[in-house]
Structure 1
Amino acid sequence: MEWASTLILLLAVFIFCHLLINPKRKQLHKGRLPPGPTPLPLIGNFLQIKPAETLKSLLKLREKYGPVFTVYFGTSPVLILCGHQAVKEALVDKAEEFSGRTTMPSMVPSFEGYGMAFTNGQRWKELRRFTLTVLRNFGMGKKSIEERIQEEAQFLLEEFRNTKEKPFDLTFILSRAFANIICSIAFGNRFDYEDKEFQALMVMANKFFWEMSTSWAQFYDMYANYLNYIPGIYNKIYDCMDIKLFIAKRIKKNQETLDPNFPRDYIDCFLIQMEKEKDNPDSEFIMKNLEVSVLNLILGGTETGSPTLKYGFQCLMKYPEVQAKVHEEIDRVIGRNRVPNIEDRRQMPYTDAVVHEVQRCSDILPLDLVHMVTRDTEFRGYHIPKGMTVYPVLSTVLHDPTMFKSPNAFNPENFLDESGRFKKNDAFVPFSSGKRICLGEALARMELFLFFTTILQNFQLKSLIPPEDIDLTPQMSGFYNIPPFYQLCVIPR
């Protein structure tokens, strides 16, 4: 029978792959790993971890095995870390040992081992240090970047006014606002919201995160070592090619107009450094690293902040009493006649708490970017070998019942003390923690606060359905939590 022949062929391929790959994996099995469900030959813990429900599956296993356990994706062991204490012990207390990064197989075609997000060693250190310096020089955390955000917020307000109180989907409006901030740093200018090329870039960025969160991408990440032997499979992985072509065109434009004495943006700074190190055969300042580093900035600076704010507006419509308190605090501290600034945050504990709570509950990257152990290390009495993949489940940190008053509910009081003052919480790690903490953290915090307060200063958010019917469940959950689709109306105040 045809199906039987196909099954036998696939089984033969799996066995061949297992025999081929297994010797390379032996070093990952030495020592004593944390307990976990018993893996089956070849398929590992496929029966316990549903690719379409990776997070839910891991949370269920945590109930049985505790905050630290091992699962197998095929023949590869993966260390799972849950809860504030376990993640802190790994990413902060043993920061160097857990500072490695491995690229999920579904992302290999997009990043190819270059850039700063999914690399290790000298390449990662040099590119991260360089990028942080450039971001600081272009005003990250200073008044100049604040002014850029304030300016962009006014363009955003105009887009909202143009809706004339009619229902609309704000997904791409918010994406363009956040993208323009990072584009002004990467490319030296913002784009008009109606620019067709810019709109296409936003669609491509959105598609990347959508594709990486599908059940197919999750399945591929777990079993790529086998699936890559099936003809045509690798070609189905999204590769960000169109975004990289856009970036390459911008780099070429910069090369043609570059003045080494007056760098205009991140690309100029990188090109200048390339020229300085052109005689160094080991230099990390090469064109491929430039292209992928800009890709890292665009994706990270666009499709994390905008969905967070989108989720936050939905929360305010579901909890109108929260929106009313934010409006009251804005009116009292800022008023209606001046633009909000970042210093206002100190006098607005409730609004600051709401913004933090939105970030906590939105859970945009529930599993964090995947880490890797850089050297053999002892952890909680177990031996974790060099090269082992690590999944810090940030969702379990952000909803840790030992750290938050209302871990599973939207409640700004999670960030307020009894007297109503803002209080920090060590379990607030939406940007990860340790050596791999998001390098755009300060920028993202500033963007969220200024966009949030500027919009609420000028508009009331109105839902098309009763608050009790608003569902905050992500429309897709994988590598990335994609907020629910909804429309709203904005009413001038």
Structure 2
Amino acid sequence: MGTALMNVDQNSVILALVLGLIFLVLFEILRIHVSRGRTPPGPRPFPFVGTLPYFIKDPMGSARSIHQYGEMATVYIGRQQGIVLNTLQITKEALVQEASTFSGRPALPLIDWITNGLGIIMVTFGHSWRQQRRFALHTLRNFGLGKKSVEERVSEEGRYLVAEMLKEEGTTFDPKHVIQNAVSNIICSIVFGYRFDYDNKRFAYLLKVLNENFILTGSAGAQMFNLVPFIKHFPGPHQKMLQNTNELLRFIREEVKEHRQTLDPENPRDFIDAYLLEIEKQKSHEDSTFHEENMVMSTADLFLAGTDTTATTIRWGLIFLMENPEVQERCHEEIVQVLGYDRQPSMDDRDKLPYTYATVHEIQRCANIVPFGVIHATTQPTKLRGYDIPQGTMIMTNLTRIFSDKKHWKSPDTFNPENFLDENGHFYKPEAFIAFSLGPRVCPGETLARTELFLYIVTLLQRLHFSWPPNSPRPDMDGIMGVVRFPHPFKIVCCSRDAKY
């Protein structure tokens, strides 16, 4: 009798769970149906996970096709609604004309878990963000950003980069580490006050874990964390991300400790010195957001933003230049005609090198390293094109579509520097080139990135010729989707242009 009652109880529990699950699914389907009737059109979401399966399965295919739903499309990251802006016009309307409303950042559990809501890049639009960004931009300018001194650092590092590549002359090698190291050394010189040699094993390891985090953050595991944050208590790729982040923060804290011990208030050497002085200066202000943890995270943001994005663009650039050897040769000929083999380039040479300058921009357009831009969020309820947009809605810019729209580009689907040249062969920048975004949250490192891309690419093409190794397979041009779109691992062969070096 007892066994029978137990079986009945177990059956009742199972039935209740099944009925409850069915009810939840039906309720979710109804919620989705009602929600879709009030939002811009978009791909049909699945219960609980939204449209994530489409983007995880084929991220670039989704980026290329989402514009079919119109100038705005609705997507769902789990149950959280997002709006994709598919045209330049509506992007300007949102990010520029309604800037304060569309300049937030979404609440992403993974990012909040790692950053504790501190820093510059992913912090919400508000007082802390304004203080930290304003201070960072002012301090970076003081230490040479946009000035000849930073140009000189990039030019000098360009010489080191070429010399490092020439050590592998005629052999097959992966250029990833040397490019990352060269790019990172510029922001390191501004933030920490010095550069790192290419054979520094500790720094090589740090660059490796940073790159790993950039890939993991865009992975299916990271998206799962954002859907069910309680998995932070369990093993998984998110634990590796936290471990990698802690490695970087530990490195920065060690730098801060050393800077504090050797600080000369009359002669700040770099960003960390300047921040330590600002903490003291702001101590009496109740609304100050300057403290050591914010300093560490803001430094990490600058280090991250100043490393992988530009390095990734240059790596894509090598792929496009090897795939289009006639472009590579034309750039080299133009560079040598203006600079010869010995003079280092400067930003003043841009007007004299229109084809090469156009090629740098075309690399950025085709590399398209952030296909949906850095995600924004609405800071308050608003309307856009007649649709009600709730507060906290994620806003994405479909750069993939904008960078391939026939309205804006002569050759939207092929690598062609003519996209940035007028009928007289002079450089011009189409309005649709918004690689650094628009509005108040435009990339704070834009000036540095432009300087590095131009000077590094000119220096490389002046001194070296790049080609694919014999019979090597070409990488999948859709790349690997992380925080940025990375090229698949590839190897190159470089040869000296017979210059004195």
Same fold (TM over 0.5): yes
- Give CA deviations for 1:397-424 in whole Å, capped at 9, x if unaligned: 2222211111121111110111111111
**AA at the equivalent of 2:408:** M
Q: 1:492 and 1:59, CA in 2 relative to 1: closer, same or farther beyond 3 A?
A: closer
Structure 2: how far apart are the matches of 1:214 and 1:438? 23
* SS in structure 2 of the partner of residue 307 of structure 1: helix
Q: Are positions 1:86 and 2:86 aligned together?
A: no
* SS in structure 1 of the partner of residue 228 of structure 2: helix
2:373: which partner in 1? 368
- Give CA deviations for 1:38-72 in whole Å, capped at 9, x if unaligned: 5454343456x342324423543431x21202222
**AA at the equivalent of 2:48:** L
2:4: which partner in 1? none
Q: Are positions 1:283 and 2:288 aligned together?
A: yes
In the TM superposition, what is the alpha-carbon distance from 1:10 to its structure 2 partner?
11
Q: 1:193 and 1:417, CA in 2 relative to 1: closer, same or farther beyond 3 A?
A: same
2:70: which partner in 1? 66
In the TM superposition, what is the alpha-carbon distance from 1:216 to its structure 2 partner?
2.5
Structure 2: how far apart are the matches of 1:18 and 1:255? 59
- Give CA deviations for 1:77-98 in whole Å, capped at 9, x if unaligned: 1111112222222112222211
- Contact kept, 8 Å, 1:13 with 1:229, in 2: the verdict is no
- Give CA deviations for 1:191-247 in whole Å, capped at 9, x if unaligned: 1111222111111211111212323224444x236x649855695461211111111
In the TM superposition, what is the alpha-carbon distance from 1:470 to its structure 2 partner?
3.5
Q: 1:109 and 1:13, CA in 2 relative to 1: closer, same or farther beyond 3 A?
A: farther
Structure 2: how far apart are the matches of 1:18 and 1:441? 47
2:203: which partner in 1? 198
Q: 1:463 and 1:32, CA in 2 relative to 1: closer, same or farther beyond 3 A?
A: same
- Give CA deviations for 1:275-330 in whole Å, capped at 9, x if unaligned: 11123343110111111111111111100111111111111111111011001100
1:181: which partner in 2? 186
Q: Are positions 1:480 and 2:484 aligned together?
A: yes
| Paired-residue identity, % | 38
* SS in structure 2 of the partner of residue 304 of structure 1: helix
Structure 2: how far apart are the matches of 1:115 and 1:44? 29
* SS in structure 2 of the partner of residue 436 of structure 1: coil
Q: 1:7 and 1:457, CA in 2 relative to 1: closer, same or farther beyond 3 A?
A: farther
Question: Any gaps of 5 or more consecutive residues in structure 2?
Answer: 1-12
- Contact kept, 8 Å, 2:222 with 2:237, in 1: the verdict is no
Matches within 5 A, 1:119-134: 119=123, 120-134=125-139
2:241: which partner in 1? 238
1:36: which partner in 2? 42
- Give CA deviations for 1:142-194 in whole Å, capped at 9, x if unaligned: 11111111111111111012113211110010000000000001101111111
Structure 1: how far apart are the matches of 2:39 and 2:413? 31
Structure 1: how far apart are the matches of 2:19 and 2:431? 48
Structure 1: how far apart are the matches of 2:18 and 2:287? 43
Q: 1:341 and 1:400, CA in 2 relative to 1: closer, same or farther beyond 3 A?
A: same
Q: 1:60 and 1:258, CA in 2 relative to 1: closer, same or farther beyond 3 A?
A: same
2:304: which partner in 1? 299
* SS in structure 2 of the partner of residue 100 of structure 1: coil
In the TM superposition, what is the alpha-carbon distance from 1:73 to its structure 2 partner?
2.4
Q: 1:490 and 1:235, CA in 2 relative to 1: closer, same or farther beyond 3 A?
A: closer
1:334: which partner in 2? 339
* SS in structure 2 of the partner of residue 460 of structure 1: strand
1:343: which partner in 2? 348
Structure 1: how far apart are the matches of 2:25 and 2:249? 32
- Give CA deviations for 1:374-415 in whole Å, capped at 9, x if unaligned: 122221111212221112222222222211111121111110
1:96: which partner in 2? 100
**AA at the equivalent of 2:148:** K
Q: 2:324 aligns with which of 319, 326, 331?
A: 319
2:408: which partner in 1? 403
Decide which moves more: 54-63 or 244-253: 54-63
1:267: which partner in 2? 272
2:417: which partner in 1? 412
Decide which moves more: 80-89 or 200-209: 80-89
* SS in structure 1 of the partner of residue 287 of structure 2: coil
Q: Are positions 1:421 and 2:426 aligned together?
A: yes
**AA at the equivalent of 1:124:** W
Decide which moves more: 10-19 or 283-292: 10-19
- Contact kept, 8 Å, 2:354 with 2:426, in 1: the verdict is yes
**AA at the equivalent of 1:479:** V
Q: 1:320 and 1:45, CA in 2 relative to 1: closer, same or farther beyond 3 A?
A: closer
Structure 1: how far apart are the matches of 2:97 and 2:463? 44
* SS in structure 2 of the partner of residue 435 of structure 1: coil
Structure 2: how far apart are the matches of 1:84 and 1:132? 27
TM-align CA RMSD: 3.0
Q: 1:219 and 1:460, CA in 2 relative to 1: closer, same or farther beyond 3 A?
A: same
1:136: which partner in 2? 141
2:228: which partner in 1? 224
In the TM superposition, what is the alpha-carbon distance from 1:466 to its structure 2 partner?
6.5
Structure 2: how far apart are the matches of 1:366 and 1:349? 26
Q: 1:178 and 1:234, CA in 2 relative to 1: closer, same or farther beyond 3 A?
A: closer
Question: Any gaps of 5 or more consecutive residues in structure 1?
Answer: none
Q: Are positions 1:110 and 2:143 aligned together?
A: no
Decide which moves more: 380-389 or 458-467: 458-467
2:474: which partner in 1? 470
1:153: which partner in 2? 158
In the TM superposition, what is the alpha-carbon distance from 1:472 to its structure 2 partner?
5.5
Structure 2: how far apart are the matches of 1:230 and 1:7? 30
- Give CA deviations for 1:257-284 in whole Å, capped at 9, x if unaligned: 1111111000111110001112334311
Q: 1:172 and 1:9, CA in 2 relative to 1: closer, same or farther beyond 3 A?
A: farther
Structure 2: how far apart are the matches of 1:7 and 1:231? 29
Structure 2: how far apart are the matches of 1:9 and 1:482? 44
TM-score, with length taken from structure 2:
0.88
